[in-house]
Every structure is written in C-alpha cells, then in structure tokens.
Amino acid sequence: QKEVEQDPGPLSVPEGAIVSLNCTYSNSAFQYFMWYRQYSRKGPELLMYTYSSGNKEDGRFTAQVDKSSKYISLFIRDSQPSDSATYLCAMSDGDMRFGAGTRLTVKP
C-alpha cells in the first residue's frame, strides 16, 4: 500500500463547475498537508497547505483535512480553463510524500 493514494483521473469538467480532488493516506505521523499544481513539463507549484485537521480557503480554492479518516480534499469553485493542470497532494512529517496526481481539464 502506498503512503499516499490519489486517483489519477483524468477528470474533465465544464467551465464554472465545482471540482473536488481527494487523497487518502496511511501514515498518521503526517501533520502538514499540501496541494501542488503542476503544468506539463514544469515543476510543481504550491497552492495551499494546511496544518492538522480543518479547512482553509484561498479565493476559489478550499482545502479540507480530516485526520480521523486520513482523508484530504481540494475544492475548486467556478473552475476556469486556466485551472487545467495536474494537481498533486503532498504530506509531510519532515520530508514530503506525494500522491500520483490528478489530471484536470476544464473545458470552455
């Protein structure tokens, strides 16, 4: 079993839709939870990070962490074609472990 599980998709939605991306994990030592966005042939860029359980909102993006279920989510409201990318969840207890990434396409 991988430490971090993420459905690779692909996921295709129409512009304006609400997108839900999810990851599960097995290591209860993880304390920090991150979402990265990666465009083709580029390095990942950090979108949001959350410490422990709870919600965090930043513009159209909301990150949720449920440590009791070992489950994290990223919601994107009013999705735009420019949101089309691969979204990677990552978790840390010192160094970072990544999920496989979900490839998202937002169609105009």
Partner 1 sequence: DTGVSQDPRHKITKRGQNVTFRCDPISEHNRLYWYRQTLGQGPEFLTYFQNEAQLEKSRLLSDRFSAERPKGSFSTLEIQRTEQGDSAMYLCASSFGQGAYTEAFFGQGTRLTVV
Assigned token pair, 20: 């839900």
State the binding string over 39-78 for partner 1 (x if CB under 8 A, else -).
--xxxxxx--x-x---------------------------
Least CB distance from residue 46 to partner 1, whole Å?
A: 6
Secondary structure (H, E, C), 31-67: CEEEEEEECCCCCCEEEEEEECCEEEEECCEEEEEEC
Q: Pick the closer one to partner 1 by CB: 7 or 17.
A: 7
Q: Pick the closer one to partner 1 by CB: 37 or 76.
A: 37
CA distance 11 to 3: 22
State the binding string over 2-41 for partner 1 (x if CB under 8 A, else -).
--x-x-x----------------------xx---x----x
CA distance 3 to 45: 21
Secondary structure (H, E, C), 89-101: EEEECCCEEECCC
Q: Does 92 bind partner 1 (CB under 8 A)?
A: yes
Residues in touch with partner 1 (CB under 8 A): 4, 6, 8, 31-32, 36, 41-46, 49, 51, 88, 90, 92-101
